[in-house]
Structure formats: structure tokens, C-alpha cells
Structure 1
Amino acid sequence: MRQRTFLAARIDQWSREHPRRLDLALTGLMWLVSGLPSALAGLPAFLVATAAILPLVVRRRFPAAVLLWSAAVFGVQLMVVPIPLPADLAQAVVVYTVAAHVVSLPIRLLALGAALAGSVLAGLRWSTPPEYLVNVFKNAAVLGILSVLVWVIGNLVRGRQANMSALREASARLEESRLHRERFVVQQQRVAAAREIHDIVAHSLTVVIVQADGAEYAAEHAHPWDRGDAGRVFATIGRTARSALTEVRGVIEVLREADADGPDELRGAGLGLAELRQLVDSVRAAGLAVEVEAEPAAFDDVPTAIRFAVLRVVRESLTNVLKHAGPYAAAHVVVARTQGGIMVRVEDDGVGVADAITDHGSKPGYGLDGMRERLRALGGALEAGPRPGGGFVVDAAIPVAVLPPSARPAGSAAAPGGTGRSGKR
């Protein structure tokens, strides 16, 4: 339902949308009200009144020219007509127009000066004896005060219009800034989602590829073919693929939700040692020997975003070990609570990334860059490089602000019965 507005508001809106029509209507009305009655004072008075009123049609487009014309017409009036005319109201309209619509201060001051000079000349022309000088002073003072008031009102209107214009520009800039901010947030969400998809797909496909290559080799060289081993391989492949599909769907759902704040929405609050063990078990199923040292209290009172980042660092690092460390490598994962946060270290004794690239011709992916971006957003840091004794090491440090009891996520404590350490397989 359209909201009703006051008549004055509708008239004001119409006048702003159609200024030329307003000037034409104002000019016609003034000519009918004050131009025609001037004919009672004679033909010269009628002509002067008409000449003073008609230029008001173009007063907004040519205010300075109309001011000069109005001053000239008023001078002619003082010479040929001995009395004031109703059409003299047009002089006040011209002064108001210049004050309200001309930016140049000298021209506005010129309009004020012309109005004051006209007030003095009118007082001299229209005053009568016996107290001629007193009448001159009174008439000039009244006309001068009215002229100053009209000029001041015009300047106030011009200032209001300038303020409104500035407010509209500021509103437009704010709206543009809001749109830029929304686009930036959307872009951040897309980058975060792309990073998540990379982590999920890279890890899952690496496990699938390792299992498939092992099954292919066993099918060609093993005698006899072990159906139990084959079943376990295909079960691992299927489980890994289904898990990856579920996680990718979660990322897509986050992209569809307008209120999603980032990758933390992909997982619940119960991220901890149990999820870390599941991650390690999936890598062990691919044939990589992994030793884990995780303190039982490492994830206590830790925000979900940091828990999520820790698991992502471990997963991406183990995925790189699978891809680059070689067939006989072993990995060592350490997750420990430090004084200021959480420390994560993943190291292996394989051939290293550089040698793997040389041997197999594969190109490094975006996993390390993605981990650095993730940790940088949380105030953490990541270092990665070859170990002095061979292999590769990834070190991550993430600061943690301990949550108050009311804000602690469910499942923050360590899983019951967990030792925090599992031996090599």
C-alpha cells in the first residue's frame, strides 16, 4: 500500500521535479495578480510591470542576466512612474533567485547591493513632503530590511540545497562502499570455499590414487590374488570418496547460505582428538606409517576456527607426505598446547618435495599457500621446508584466546580413554 503524503510535500516534490513548469506558473500568476492591476496607473506602468515580470520564466537558468534586466527595468520605473507598483514584488523574487541559485559570492553580493541601492532610490522617489527626509529614511529602511531578509532567506535555501546535495552524494558513496564490502565478503567466502575444496579433494584423491595404484600392482603381480585385501582397498576408496563428497556438499551449502561467515561453518563444535585420529587412520589406510603425539588437553577451550585450522594443517601436510615423500616414508605428527596457543608439527623422513618433483615431474599445488592464508587470518604463522637430515617438515603456531566457560564449544575436552599417542604402524 502506497503511503499517503501531505499536500505540501507533494507540491514540493512536483516543484523539484518540474522547475521550469513552476517558473512558468509563477510568472503567469504574478502577471495576473500584479501585472494587470498596474494598468490602472497608466500604460507606462503596465509596460514596466510586464517587462519586470516576464523574465521570471528564465530566472533559474539565467539568474545574473535576469538581475541586470530587473535593475534596468526598475531604473526605468523610477523615471517614468512616480508611485510603487504591485509588480515590484518581481524585484524581490529576482534577489531571492540570485541568492538561492548562484554559487558565486560576488554576484550574490552584487544582488544585495543593487537591492539596497534600489531601496534608497525608491525612498527618494516615492517619499512626499512635508516630512520628506523622514519619509525617505523610513521608506528606504523598510525596503532595505525587506531586501536583506529576502537575500538571507535565499542564501539559507541555497545552503540547505547544498547540504542536501552533499548528503545525497555521501549516501551514494556509502551505498557504493556497502556494495564493495558485500562483494569483498562474497569474494572472501569464495576464496575460503575454494581453499576448502582444494584441501578436501587433494587429500581424498591422494588416498584414492594410492589405494588404486596399490590394488593395480597387486592385481598384476600378486599370486594368488587376495580377495580380502582387494575388499579392504575398495572399501577404503569408497569410504574416502563418500567422505569427500559429503564435505564438498557442505562447502556448497555454505556458499548458498547468505549468512555464512566462512569455513568454520562447515563443521560443528566437536572438533578434537577423535577427528584427528579419524584423519590419521584414513592416511594409514593408504599405506603411510604415521606416529601421532597429541596432548589430551590440546583442544580444550579452543575456538572452532582454530580447531578446524589445526586439522586442516595436519591433513594437508599428510597429503603432501603421501604425494611427495616416497613409498617407504613415515610421518610424525605433534599437536601440543603452548603458553600462547597451539603448536603443530608434521615431519617425514621421505625424499622431500623438491626430489619428488624431480623424480615424478609433478608440480606443487596450493596446499602450503592455503595453510599460510588460513593461519594468517587467525594470527598464526606457518613454516615449511626440507629437514636437515632428509625429509620435509611443516611447523605451525596458532595463538589461542581461552574461551570463557559460557562460550566453550561442546566436546572441547579430550575423548575419554584417549592416550593421546599411537605407535607406528
Structure 2
Amino acid sequence: MTETPFSRAKLRTDVILAVVFGLMGLPFALLGNAADLFALVLFVGALAVRRFSPPWSLGVAWAGATVQMAALRDLQIYDFAVLGVLYSCAAHGGRLVKWLGLASAIGGAAVATVYLQFVKPLADGASGLGANDLLGAGFVFVASVAVLVLAWTAGLLARSVRDGREVRRREEVANRERSLAQYRFSVEQERNRIARDMHDVVAHSLAVVIAQADGARFVSRTRPEAASGALETISGVARGALGDVRVLLAELRHHEGGAPQPVLDDLGALIEGVTGAGLEVVFDEQGERRELGTGHQIAVYRIVQEGLTNALRHGDASRPVALRLAWREDGVDLEVSNYLRPDDAEVASPTPAATRHGITGMRERAQLVGGTLTAQAGDDGVFRVLARIPAQPGVTA
């Protein structure tokens, strides 16, 4: 079986080149006899199918050489077609044909030496063979082997280069597919976790709305001011729940139950836990806290949690991690920055594999609450996670 698949374009190109080669050798064949013309046709045919069918090409080339030797003809220009045939056997033939090409190169050199140094001279009327003839035969054999095997070796090198490119191409395709699968898996995992968070947020909000609505219904006649306060609470909680429901319907397909979810007030415990693990955290909160919905608070907490976790696992634990919350009128800017380990080349790359999944999850969380997130290593050796989470008016933090 040949290594190169059939291609009409390649076959057309080989036929054209073979015809051009035949036209170049035709004047020399016309100076000879019919055997030269027949051998020329066979060699042209061998060149025409050298990539389409290397076995046939090798066999036809041997047939042309046999016709030429049977007619006791001298070397002709069309004999150079053998070099192209041997090249193609090594470059495009199957395992058997490839090694038959090498055997043909060595065997052809021996046959050519015997024919040119012994058979042809005797047929032309030479009286005998001397020491000089044997020395000349050795020289012809070595030269023939060198030329023929060189053509076969060139084909083998071309085959190796082509196979190497194909292997690299397949590796690139496999790496892209693996990266895509890992990305999809990480996104799906993160969405499942977000679904659990949203489930708790919506369930809590609806429970508050139901309780306040029942209370307002009972006291609406006797205590109108209490009913008004209940309706105000319902308005705020419902507005926050509506935002979470919109995120849920737009981005998630299913939801699961889960444990109570953290909010901004839990950041202190999170920082204490990381500090207890041996990582110094410098926390700086600037500005006055704004109103954030429960889902937005969870997003802030999870982003901080993932950023500190990445710093603990992949950063320089001997240097402090900076955590900054800068409150603005329309939300909060969050930054987690840590120094990279000098010897951690993987983490220092633009897309570190060790933190890729965590970054995907953080970015997914920020986007689902209407925010943005970037994470990258700077030239100063510091890895920064920068997020902007919008406020959600009408809900108390």
C-alpha cells in the first residue's frame, strides 16, 4: 500500500513532467533504433505513475532497463528516469516497495556494472578482460551505488519530513480538541456550581417574598404602615431575585440544591483560612460599600476565593498577596495580585495551564452578573486578577 493517497492533480503533474522528460530524450532515442524508442516509452511511463503506483513504476523501469540491455544499447539520457523512480519508491511507496527500491538501487548498480564492463565490451568484440577492466568495474559499481542510493535516500528524507509534519499536525489538532474539551468541561462544571448558587438565592428570595406577602395580607387593615413596610421589602427582594432569575434562564439549563452560599461578610473567614495555610494576605478595602445582590456577593466571594487559591498553589508563598476592593458608585473593583515563583515557567506563561480552569470559572461568574474579569501575568512577575462587579440597587448588602 502506498503512503500517498491517489490525487488526480498529482497524477496530472507527474504525467506532464514525464512527457517533458520524454521529449527531452526523444532526439537521442531517434539516433538509435526501435529498442531505444521502446525503452524511452517505458521509462516515461514509469515516471508518469511514480507517485500514483510506485510498485508499477519500479517494475516498468526494470522492464525498460531490460529492453535496453537486451538490445545491447549504450547508456542514454532517459536512463536518468531511474533516479526519479527510486526517489518515489522511498518517498511514496509502502514498506515493501520502499525496501525493494533500496534493493533495486544496489542490485541495479551491480547489473549495470556487469553489463557495461563485461557484457557490452565482449558483445562489441573485445578480445579479453584485464586487471584494468576489473579496476574499472569496481569504480563503476561504487559510483553507480552512490548515485542510485543517493536518489533513494533523498526520497526517504522527504518521506521523513512529510511524516514529521503530519505527526505535528495531528498533535496540534489533538491538542486543540483536548483544550476545547477541557474548556467545555470547566465551563459546564462552573455552570453547575453557579446553578446551585442561584438555586439558593432564588429560593431564599421567594421565601422572603411569600412570608412578607402573607404578613402584609393579615395586617393590611389593622396596621397599614406595617403592610407598607412589607411591600417595600418585597419590592427590594423581588428585584434582586428577578436579576438572578434572568441570569439563570439565560445561561443555565438546570439547577441543583446546595449548601448555604457565602457573601461579602464571609471574606474575613476566607482570608483567615488562607493565612492559616501559610500565605500572607494584605487586604485593602476602599470607599463605602454599595448595594450588591446575593448573587453578586457570591460572585465577588468566589472570585476572591479562586484568586487566593491560585496564589497559594502556584504563587511565591514567601511574598504577600494583595487583595483590594475599591467601591464605586456603580459597583466594586476587585484585584487579587501575587508574585509568581521564579522557577514556575508554566504559570508565567500567558495562559498558564495550572490556573486555566479557575480563570474560566472566575470569568464566567463575573459575566453572569454583568461584570468583567481579566487575569494575566505582567512583565514585573506579578499575576493579577482584575474584576469589576456592578452594584444592584434596591437590595441591601
- Normalising by the smaller structure, the TM-score range is 0.5 to 0.7
Q: Distance in 2 between matches of 1:245 and 1:193?
A: 16
Residue 94 of structure 1 aligns with which residue?
85
Question: What CA distance in whole angstroms lies between the structure 2 residues aligned with 1:157 and 1:96?
Answer: 9
Give, in whole Å, the separation in 1 of the partners of 2:138 and 2:277. 86
SS in 2 for 1:410: strand
Q: CA deviation at 1:340?
A: 6.0
Name the aligned partner's letter for residue 265 of structure 2: G
Aligned match of 1:28 in 3, 19, 33?
19
Partner SS for 1:60:
coil
What is the aligned counterpart of 1:120 among 80, 99, 110? 110
Q: How many Å apart are 1:250 and its aligned residue?
A: 7.1
Residue 43 of structure 2 contacts residue 81 of structure 2 at CA under 8 Å; is this kept in 1?
yes
Contact 1:123 1:135 (C-alpha < 8 Å) held by counterparts: no
How big is each residue's C-alpha offset from its partner over 1:234-291, in whole Å with a ceiling of 9 and x where there is no partner? Answer: 11111211233345567799x69xxxxxxxxxx9xx9227x9xxxxxxxxxxxxxxxx
Instruction: Out of 201-210 and 235-244, give the one that drifted further.
Output: 235-244
2:37 corresponds to 1:55: no
What is the deviation of 1:403?
Answer: 11
Counterparts of 1:301-380 in structure 2, within 5 Å, are none
Residue 227 of structure 1 deviates from its aligned partner by 0.5
Distance 1:300 1:196 in 2: 21
Deviation at 1:63, TM superposition (A): 0.9
* Aligned partner of 1:237 among 225, 234, 239: 234
Query: The residue matched to 2:31 in structure 1 has which SS?
Result: helix
Q: Does 1:409 align with 2:317?
A: no
- State the partner residue of 1:148: 149
Cα separation, 2, equivalents of 1:227 and 1:299: 43
SS of aligned partner of 1:407? strand
Are 1:272 and 2:187 an aligned pair? Answer: no
Match for residue 108 of structure 1 among 98, 110, 113: 98
Rounded Cα–Cα distance in structure 2 between residues aligned with 1:137 and 1:164? 40
Distance change (3 Å), C-alpha of 1:17 and 1:75: closer
Q: 1:213 to 1:190 in 2, by over 3 A?
A: same
Q: What amino acid sits opposite 2:108 in the alignment?
A: G
Aligned residue type for 1:132: D
Task: Supply the RMSD in Å over aligned alpha carbons.
Answer: 3.8
Computing the radius of gyration over CA atoms, which structure comes out larger, 1 or 2? 1
Partner of 2:357: none
Greater Cα offset, 164-173 or 236-245: 236-245
Could you tell me which residue of structure 1 aligns to residue 352 of structure 2? Answer: none
Amino acid at match of 1:183: R
Q: Trace 1:151-170 onto structure 2 (pairs within 5 A).
A: 151-170=152-171
Paired residue type of 1:204: S
Where do 5+ consecutive residues of structure 1 fail to align?
A: 1-15, 257-266, 276-296, 304-336, 342-370, 380-397, 412-425
Distance in structure 2 (CA, Å) of the matches to 1:56 and 1:153:
16
- Counterpart amino acid of residue 34 in structure 2: L
Percent of residue pairs identical = 27
SS at match of 1:41: coil
How many residues align? The count is 272
Say if 1:44 and 1:81, in contact at 8 Å, map to a contact too. no
* Pair 1:194 & 2:185 matched: no
Change (3 A) 1:82 1:132: farther
TM-score by length of 1: 0.55
Gap change, CA 1:17 and 1:187, over 3 Å in 2: farther
Rounded to whole Å, the distance in 1 between the matches of 2:269 and 2:97 is 77
Q: Is the CA contact 2:22–2:41 (under 8 Å) kept in the aligned structure 1?
A: yes
